[in-house]
């Protein structure tokens, strides 16, 4: 790779930019990404230096090779993960759309894309941010985002967009064309911690809406440790015997756990969770 780097350092800006087109032609002719890796990495290293004024260290280049082959690269804070990822993203981006860098929050996605996006564009690849930086920002054009070579986004936004794509009945409202390659920042957090929170898209209501209101009023009247109990990890809640008795008295029925009242009981359980377990902006939006 060192000889490749020296070769590309001697090229003019225009000639360095042309390498992206040449690489795409070589892929079309049958060369593999593995064949191109030393040269493509050398081009991106030189482009980072010219556009950002940042030169990659050997450990960052090694990390980029590890990422390309789908393995986990552990890098400490401050060791330049953002720059490391550019090498693999550029090489995979030569294949076209479907390449994602997934971060844990909107700020990181926007920041990383802004920092290195100018380098991708300088070399002729398209890059987009799939999330809004602020709530009052204009809506994201998903068609533009998912038609880009490289997309910086978050796990939840990509997850919801994937679900919506699969729920859409119109082809023109399906935006994600393919999944080619992904780099996940903070892998342990996204695939372990955050994976415990389900992504839920609700369908049309099948019951009367006033049940939500009346069950909410009833649940708010209950007492902890008398009518209901919460698990130590704060993830589960359930009725105690006294709570069931009060529910039957409140609604004027018997056998609330029977088949006849399953929808009412379901609403009561949902309301119990909504009031005492789930938090807005944390468990749902």
Task: Name residue, tokens 């986990």.
Answer: 72
Report pTM. 0.68
Residue 183 is predicted with a pLDDT of 95
**Phi, psi (deg, nearest 5) at residue 191:** -85, -15
The CATH H-level (homologous superfamily) assignment of domain 2-196 is P-loop containing nucleotide triphosphate hydrolases (3.40.50.300)
Q: pLDDT (tens digit, 9 = 90+) per residue, 25-52?
A: 999 999 999 999 999 999 999 999 999 9
Q: pLDDT (tens digit, 9 = 90+) per residue, 61-108?
A: 999 999 999 999 988 877 889 999 999 999 999 999 999 999 988 888
* Every domain of the chain and the residues it spans: 2-196, 210-276
CA 135 to chain centre: 17
Residue 54 is predicted with a pLDDT of 94
Alpha-carbon gap, residue 40 to 4, rounded angstroms: 9
Q: Which residues pair with 183 in a beta bridge?
A: 101
CA 240 to chain centre: 39
What's the topology of domain 210-276?
Pre-protein croslinking domain of SecA (3.90.1440)
Q: Which residues pair with 229 in a beta bridge?
A: 238
Residue 104 is predicted with a pLDDT of 85
Contacts of 239 by beta carbon, 8 Å cutoff, 6+ apart: 227, 228, 247, 268, 269, 272
Give the pairing of strands 228-230 and 181-184.
unpaired
């Amino acid at each position: 790779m060192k000889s490749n780097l020296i070769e590309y350092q001697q090229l003019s800006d225009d000639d360095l930019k042309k390498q992206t087109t040449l690489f795409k032609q070589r892929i079309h002719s049958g060369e593999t990404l593995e064949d191109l890796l030393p040269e493509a990495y050398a081009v991106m290293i030189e482009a980072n230096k010219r556009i950002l004024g940042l030169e990659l260290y050997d450990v960052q280049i090694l990390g980029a090779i590890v990422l390309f082959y789908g393995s986990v690269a552990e890098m400490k804070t401050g060791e330049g993960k953002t720059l490391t990822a550019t090498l693999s993203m550029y090489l995979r981006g030569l294949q076209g759309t479907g390449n994602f860098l997934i971060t844990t929050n909107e700020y990181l996605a926007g920041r990383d894309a802004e920092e290195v996006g100018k380098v991708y564009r300088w070399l002729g690849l398209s890059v987009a941010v799939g999330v809004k930086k602020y709530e009052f920002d204009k809506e994201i054009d998903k068609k533009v985002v998912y038609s880009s070579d490289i997309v910086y986004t978050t796990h939840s936004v990509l997850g919801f967009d994937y679900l919506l794509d699969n729920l859409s009945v119109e082809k023109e409202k399906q935006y994600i064309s393919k999944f080619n390659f992904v780099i996940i920042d903070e892998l342990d957090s996204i695939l372990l911690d955050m994976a415990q929170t389900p992504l839920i898209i609700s369908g049309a209501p099948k019951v009367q809406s006033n049940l939500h209101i009346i069950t909410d009023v009833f649940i708010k009247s209950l007492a902890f440790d008398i009518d209901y109990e919460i698990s130590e990890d704060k993830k589960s809640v359930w009725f105690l015997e006294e709570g069931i008795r009060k529910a039957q008295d409140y609604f004027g029925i018997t056998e609330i756990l029977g088949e006849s009242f399953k929808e009412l009981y379901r609403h009561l359980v949902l309301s119990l969770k909504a009031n005492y377990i789930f938090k807005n902006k944390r468990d749902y939006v």
